[in-house]
C-alpha cells in the first residue's frame, strides 16, 4: 500500500490544501492528513476544530484519514508506515523552504517527499491570509472548504 502523510497545522484548511489532498488520492492508496500539535504556536482554531474541518471536508472519501501528531514528521511516518510525505508548492519561496526540509528528512530517513504544484486558481491562498481575512471580517468562505465555519 502506498501511504502518504500530508502534514500541516491547517489553521484553517484552505482550498489549496483541499486541492492537494484531492489530487493526492489519485496518486496514493491512502492520504493521511496529519494536523500538527505545536505548543509553541498560537492557533486561531483549536486542534479539535482544525481536525473537524478536515474530517467534514473529506467525510465521503475513504482514502483520506485524519489524525493529529506531534514531534518529527519522519518519526510519525514510521509509526503509521507512510512511505511518502506529500507537500504542496505555491511559489518559489515555498519550494526553497520545502526543499530544505525534504533534504533533511531524506538524510534522516528513507521517506521520500512528493511535491504537487497548487492549482493556479488556489496558488495565492495561505492559512495566514485566511486568518487575516477572518480577523478583519472579510468573506473567508471563498478561500476555504464549506466545512470551515467561524463562530
- Tell me: the pLDDT tens digits for 42-94? 999 999 999 999 999 999 999 999 999 999 999 999 999 999 999 999 988 88
The confidence band for 38, taking pLDDT boundaries of 50, 70 and 90, is confident
Nearest to 27 by CA among 87, 81, 104: 87
Look at the block and give the residue holding cell 474541518.
Answer: 53
Q: What is the mean pLDDT of residues 19-36?
A: 98
CATH topology of domain 3-142: Rossmann fold (3.40.50)
Listed by start position, the domains of the chain span 3-142
Residue 145 · residue 117 · CB < 8 Å: no
Task: Return contacts of 137-143, CB within 8 angstroms, 24+ apart.
Answer: 143/14, 143/15
Catalytic positions: 17, 41, 90, 127
Q: What is the mean pLDDT of residues 145-151?
A: 92
Distance CA 103, CA 68 (A): 24
CA atoms within 13 A on the CB side of 40: 2
The confidence band for 6, taking pLDDT boundaries of 50, 70 and 90, is very high
pTM for the full predicted model: 0.94
Amino acid at each position: 500500500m502506498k501511504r502518504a502523510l500530508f502534514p500541516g497545522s491547517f489553521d484553517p484548511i484552505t482550498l489549496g490544501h483541499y486541492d492537494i489532498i484531492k489530487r493526492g488520492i489519485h496518486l496514493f492508496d491512502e492520504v493521511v492528513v496529519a494536523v500538527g500539535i505545536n505548543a509553541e504556536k498560537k492557533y486561531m482554531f483549536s486542534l479539535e476544530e482544525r481536525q473537524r474541518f478536515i474530517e467534514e471536508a473529506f467525510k465521503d472519501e475513504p482514502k483520506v484519514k485524519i489524525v493529529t501528531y506531534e514531534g518529527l514528521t519522519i518519526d510519525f511516518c514510521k509509526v503509521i508506515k507512510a512511505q511518502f510525505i506529500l507537500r504542496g508548492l505555491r511559489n518559489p519561496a515555498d519550494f526553497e523552504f520545502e526543499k530544505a526540509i525534504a533534504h533533511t528528512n531524506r538524510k534522516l530517513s528513507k521517506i521520500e517527499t512528493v511535491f504537487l504544484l497548487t492549482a493556479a486558481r488556489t496558488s495565492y491562498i495561505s492559512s495566514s491570509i485566511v486568518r487575516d481575512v477572518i480577523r478583519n471580517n472579510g468573506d473567508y468562505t471563498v478561500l476555504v472548504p464549506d466545512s470551515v465555519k467561524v463562530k
